[in-house]
């Protein structure tokens, strides 16, 4: 008792609870998005092998376009966190409206980008029947993607203040709405038409619309107007808007390049063969469902670090990072056991109806090896997400953009292209590049964190 006392354990317990209070609802919220995509892919896999083969390339390519705008809009979270920490709540309404204006711009641009579908997937080299399905899914997602960006901007109003329970509840409602609608529109259940992959896209867009609507109803209240001026700060503020762009765009480009590396990987696997593409889609879907909570933990880390730096307490930001890593290690320990010990039941969720069991077992055999490879790299990927969360929360986004962008090209895209195009490599060497890429992300982000330069960045200006 005299060696350890009661004060330190009590304080640590409170700090762990604070981290979980902010990050756990965000983990659930981000996971709901992945649940929607995962159920899309399970239902599509059971619908036909062609639809699951098309869903991942089209989905990740659409996400590559969407994530840039979503990433910029989500950076409003850091601004709101720092204004909260600095005691300037009336600036929150102004940040919210700059996010809304950006979302309107994003909706127009993304709808226009949907016209790129035909030439984009024609260049993929995938079979013609797969290309047709990819084009349909891609176009639907991009036409409705502005709603996703708007919902992201709205969610920052709550997450930046650390009020993450509201974010969790809204996304849970969106998921509960999406899953049965997804099943019905894909398979023609109840009174709905059978639309296959088109139905999967329409169900996702409908859920995005519901999420944005619910956030809007929660934000624009009399109480929030009194405290944060959510209506009174509607005017466009060029200085604030372009500061949001200045810090948000590099961080978003970083994530885009990260996604680009995986999108390119998926496209190149499609050139190896349809079976290899299908099993890779299955494994990546399982990995995403398990790993996406780390995106929520990263966002929670950005929020807490932003609040600490806004209040002038960098030592609190360092402690938050350390405690978050402890929680991450506990979570990924469970994932490692599942991926190593129970890979077959996870893969059998994707067995297409009517496919011969012996034929599917060949797919499972490849999938088991790939899931165990995922178990190796997820240890490093989870830590990378925490360190990037810290750097984003501080505003160190230019370093993130240049370093991660370079690694995406040099460690992921270029080696994979050489292996597949020049040496006709199979599935396992290409997946080895993924492992090398993830480790390089971890190493660079950890090094930057340990330099401490992120503590010196000033994100917010004066508060009029």
What is the domain range of residue 57? 24-456
What is the predicted pLDDT for the residue at 109? Answer: 95
The pLDDT tens digits for 87-98 are 888 888 999 999
Q: How much is the mean pLDDT over the chain?
A: 85
Average pLDDT over residues 20-29: 81
pLDDT for position 289 = 67
Question: What pLDDT, on a 0 to 100 scale, did the predictor assign at position 84?
Answer: 85
As a whole number, mean pLDDT of residues 123-146 equals 86
Residue 292 lies in a domain: yes
Distance CA 136, CA 116 (A): 12
Per residue in 330-388, pLDDT (tens digit) is 988 888 888 888 888 888 888 776 666 677 888 888 889 999 888 888 889 999 999 99
On whether residue 36 sits in a domain, the answer given is yes
The structural domain count of the chain equals: 1
Which one is predicted more confidently, 112 or 300?
112
Going by C-alpha positions, the residue among 61, 105, 94, 457 that lies closest to residue 251 is 457
Burial 428-439 (b: 16+ CB within 10 A, else e): eebbebbeebbb
Of residues 347 and 56, the one with the higher pLDDT is 347
Between 352 and 271, whose confidence is greater?
A: 271
For the residues 315-335, what does the mean pLDDT come to? Answer: 90
Q: What is the pLDDT of residues 380-426, one digit of tens each?
A: 999 999 999 899 888 888 888 888 888 888 998 899 999 988 888 88
Give the tens place of pLDDT for each residue, 422-444. Answer: 888 888 999 999 999 999 999 99
Q: Is the pLDDT of residue 263 over 90?
A: no
Q: Within a domain: residue 464? A: no
Q: Is residue 1 part of a domain?
A: no
The better pLDDT of the pair 328, 359 is held by 328
pLDDT digits (tens, 9 = 90+) for 206-224: 999 999 999 999 999 999 9
The confidence band for 459, taking pLDDT boundaries of 50, 70 and 90, is low
Classify residue 181: in a domain, yes or no: yes
Asked whether 89 and 83 are in contact (CB, 8 A), the reply is yes
Q: What's the mean pLDDT in 279-290? A: 80
Domain membership of residue 365 (yes or no) is yes
Amino acid 9: pLDDT: 56
CB count within 10 Å of CB 332 equals 22
Written as one string, the DSSP assignment of 276-315 is HHHHHHHHHHHHHHHHTHHHHHHHHHHHHHHHHHHTT-HH
Calculate mean pLDDT across residues 45-71: 82
Identify whether 7 is part of a domain.
no
Domain membership of residue 434 (yes or no) is yes
Q: H-type helices in 220-273, by residue range?
A: 222-228, 238-272
Q: What is the CA radius of gyration of the chain?
A: 22
Distance CA 99, CA 121 (A): 31
């Amino acid at each position: 008792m005299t060696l350890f006392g009661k004060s330190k354990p009590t304080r640590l317990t409170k700090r762990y609870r604070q981290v979980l209070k902010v990050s756990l609802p965000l983990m659930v919220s981000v996971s709901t998005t992945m649940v929607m995509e995962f159920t899309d892919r399970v239902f599509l896999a059971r619908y036909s092998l062609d639809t699951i083969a098309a869903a991942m390339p089209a989905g990740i390519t659409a996400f590559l376009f969407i994530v840039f705008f979503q990433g910029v809009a989500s950076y409003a979270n850091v601004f709101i966190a720092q204004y909260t920490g600095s005691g300037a709540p009336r600036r929150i309404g102004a940040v919210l409206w700059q996010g809304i204006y950006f979302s309107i711009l994003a909706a127009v641009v993304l709808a226009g980008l949907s016209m790129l579908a035909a030439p984009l997937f024609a260049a993929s080299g995938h079979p013609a029947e797969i290309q047709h399905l990819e084009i349909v899914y891609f176009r639907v997602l991009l036409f409705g993607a502005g709603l996703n960006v708007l919902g992201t901007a709205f969610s920052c109003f709550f997450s930046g203040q650390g009020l993450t329970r509201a974010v969790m509840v809204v996304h849970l409602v969106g998921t509960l709405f999406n899953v049965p609608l997804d099943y019905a529109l894909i398979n023609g259940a109840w009174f709905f038409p059978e639309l296959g992959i088109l139905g999967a896209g329409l169900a996702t867009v409908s859920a995005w619309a519901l999420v944005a609507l619910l956030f809007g109803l929660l934000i624009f209240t009399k109480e929030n107007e009194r405290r944060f001026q959510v209506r009174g700060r509607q005017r466009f503020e060029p200085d604030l808007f372009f500061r949001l762009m200045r810090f948000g765009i590099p961080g978003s480009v970083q994530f885009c390049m990260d996604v680009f590396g995986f999108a390119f990987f998926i496209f190149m696997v499609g050139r190896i063969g349809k079976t290899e593409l299908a099993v890779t889609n299955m494994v990546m879907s399982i990995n995403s469902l398990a790993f996406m909570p780390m995106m929520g933990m990263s966002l929670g880390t950005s929020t807490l670090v932003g609040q600490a730096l806004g209040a002038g307490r960098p030592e609190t930001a360092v402690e938050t990072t350390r405690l978050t890593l402890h929680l991450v290690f506990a979570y990924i320990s469970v994932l490692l056991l599942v991926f190593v010990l129970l890979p077959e039941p996870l893969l059998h969720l994707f067995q297409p109806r009517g496919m011969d069991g012996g034929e599917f077992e060949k797919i499972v055999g490849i999938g088991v090896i790939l899931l165990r490879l995922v178990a190796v790299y997820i240890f490093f990927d989870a830590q990378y997400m925490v360190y990037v969360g810290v750097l984003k929360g501080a505003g160190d986004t230019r370093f993130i953009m240049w370093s991660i962008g370079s690694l995406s090209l040099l460690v992921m895209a270029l080696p994979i292209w050489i292996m597949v195009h020049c040496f006709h490599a199979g599935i396992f060497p290409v997946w080895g590049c993924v492992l090398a890429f993830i480790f390089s992300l971890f190493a660079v982000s950890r090094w930057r964190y340990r330099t401490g330069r992120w503590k010196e960045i000033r994100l917010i200006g004066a508060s009029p």
